Structure 1
């Protein structure tokens, strides 16, 4: 006979939860969460796209202005190179350090003036690219130190993660494409490169500059494709990261709009208080106009207080029955007029005067009620 064993194990059902905030993140991010993330500096942005556009602008500018830039550099090079003998001669009088510093400062200033447009265009393109991707929003929160980043466990998690693997794969693809494009661009000029020793220096510089700029433009265009693909991925990733659980959506709604249950109870109490006040004013009515089953509207007319008849109470279905019961209790006439009851219920609130277009119909009902009272 085989023994049978029964094992009882206790499980914590929280082990099977997707996260600690009420389940799997399936709901799109709310406007408030997106705005909060924006204020924190969390946006869908591709740095690759910024770099690609900046490189394209740089090489295009070099292609257009390389001749003038090169001419300026060479001209200033000859000017300051010819001043070296003066510095050597001044060294006999002890003025070499001062003269050398003047030449160096002037040289740096000239280089800055020549290259300033290049850096300005690069900065402008990078700024426009960022604004195009995420809009204009200045925040310093991403620059604030966070001690959580110093946690080695968090660092290991960032290194070994899906995002880090994607960045590694992207870097490998990027380097491979750039290397292939650079090799192809230089290979097209390989015959010209063998002639570098046989041509003048100026032609060598122009040839090398042309090769570098052409290769740079091709690399930049390939880099642009990588940047566009990365931008699309970053937007998709940001959208997925910003998703919320159903519980998070409910909690946010409670924090921003208030607890819906509490607001519902408040509306119910306000409605009950309004109905109580309405029923207290009902004994002052002159007539109750009914549908006869669905609507009931109580009318009062006092020429000393109002310029027109006033609706003192109205109700639908169950409340209409209560109004009719109260009217019978206080011996208020109940008159059936379906069109008038519907018009009054739909267009006149409690405490408001009857609109002029209904004067005639309401006056006929009041005249009928007053005649009944006189006969009695």
Structure 2
């Protein structure tokens, strides 16, 4: 029963039920693991591209028709020489660039913007590193039949259904006009089909954006689930950040010892030691060239207080008993700092008494 209880406690501690800590999130982000929906990129890209086509359609059409007119009116009469081919290629490339460049620019802006909206600014090379574990066929099979794969399949079917339904509906509504395009001019037919294409693109983009909201919500949920931590993970992370508590305790103890050793070395230079007399001891030094007020060079209670008094006695430093002043100075004064103004008079009287006593001695 004892072993069973210990095993249950171990599994409970190792179960990933806790939210990820900020450090875990930061480390995961450095590896390129962030919640991201490709549908947001696709929907945003389609929306901006078809929007650009809607706004720039007329200039693009004028450029393309002008290019064809120029080709069949002038280029067709040129002799086939090296210079003429170079000229035709250069001019055609320039005209095509004027048509394609704005759309490519909008596509790049859409891609960058959609990624910034989702993950912000992030540069990492972790996903590009070679990882032989990705070639494991067993893990690959598990991914194929995992819950995530099923969600992706359902999502793909839903996208195909939505886009197909929207496209079919728009074509069905405009089927009568399409049948009459044979009676229209080429320019009118191009204008009609261009408008229909842009409407289908914009409608599909909006549908994908609506779907992307649901997909992004799921991606965030799945990401949060994957980066969950166990209580043991949180404790281990805390130890790595803050250090082992036992080591920290040893370091603090060593620092206290060093501080006490340095403090004791200042006692022989003190002018007076004010005591409780048994529990508190405060060593005071007044050096007019360094400070306008007396400075506390050492203080302590119980064992440390006894050590201060022993060192003071061994170095002929006068000890004065003043219970309330000793308690107040210990509580309200810092090492190597001047005493507070409210204790000036009391300490000045003690120093005056010590200086008179030293003169007599």
The range that moved more, 42-51 or 56-65, is 42-51
The answer to whether the 8 A contact 1:310-1:352 is kept is yes
> Are residues 1:168 and 2:153 paired?
yes
Q: Which residue of 2 aligns with 1:360?
A: 345
Q: Which residue of 2 aligns with 1:335?
A: 322
Q: Which residue of 2 aligns with 1:30?
A: 21
How many residue pairs match? The answer is 357
> Are residues 1:230 and 2:215 paired?
yes
Q: Which residue of 2 aligns with 1:59?
A: 50
Q: Quick check: which one's helix share is greater? A: 2
Q: Cα–Cα, structure 1 residues 300 and 223, in superposed 2: closer, same or farther, change >3 Å?
A: same
Q: Which residue of 1 aligns with 2:249?
A: 264
Alpha carbon RMSD of aligned pairs, Å?
A: 3.9
Tell me the CA shift for residue 305 of structure 1.
Answer: 9.0
Q: Which residue of 2 aligns with 1:348?
A: 334
Unmatched segments (≥5 aa) in structure 1:
1-7
The answer to whether the 8 A contact 2:275-2:319 is kept is no
The answer to whether the 8 A contact 1:44-1:133 is kept is yes
Q: Cα–Cα, structure 1 residues 113 and 315, in superposed 2: closer, same or farther, change >3 Å?
A: same
The range that moved more, 53-62 or 274-283, is 274-283
> Structure 1, residues 73-95: CA drift from partner, whole Å, max 9, x if none?
122223324568548xx6xxxx4
SS of corresponding position for 1:41: coil
Unmatched segments (≥5 aa) in structure 2:
none
TM norm structure 2: 0.81
SS of corresponding position for 1:243: coil
The range that moved more, 212-221 or 40-49, is 40-49
> Structure 1, residues 214-234: CA drift from partner, whole Å, max 9, x if none?
121111111111122222322
> What is the CA–CA distance in structure 1 between the aligned matches of 2:280 and 2:154, rounded to whole Å?
71
> Structure 1, residues 167-189: CA drift from partner, whole Å, max 9, x if none?
11211222222222222222221
Tell me the CA shift for residue 49 of structure 1.
Answer: 0.6
Tell me the CA shift for residue 72 of structure 1.
Answer: 1.9
Q: Which residue of 2 aligns with 1:3?
A: none
> What is the CA–CA distance in structure 2 between the aligned matches of 1:291 and 1:214, rounded to whole Å?
92
SS of corresponding position for 2:36: coil
> What is the CA–CA distance in structure 1 between the aligned matches of 2:58 and 2:217, rounded to whole Å?
38
> Are residues 1:211 and 2:196 paired?
yes
Q: Which residue of 2 aligns with 1:142?
A: 127
Q: Write out aligned runs for 1:18-97 (5 A).
A: 23-82=14-73, 86=77, 95=80
Tell me the CA shift for residue 275 of structure 1.
Answer: 3.0
The answer to whether the 8 A contact 2:274-2:319 is kept is no
The range that moved more, 178-187 or 59-68, is 178-187
The answer to whether the 8 A contact 2:16-2:228 is kept is yes
Tell me the CA shift for residue 211 of structure 1.
Answer: 1.1
Tell me the CA shift for residue 57 of structure 1.
Answer: 0.5
The answer to whether the 8 A contact 1:287-1:335 is kept is no
TM norm structure 1: 0.78
The answer to whether the 8 A contact 1:288-1:327 is kept is no
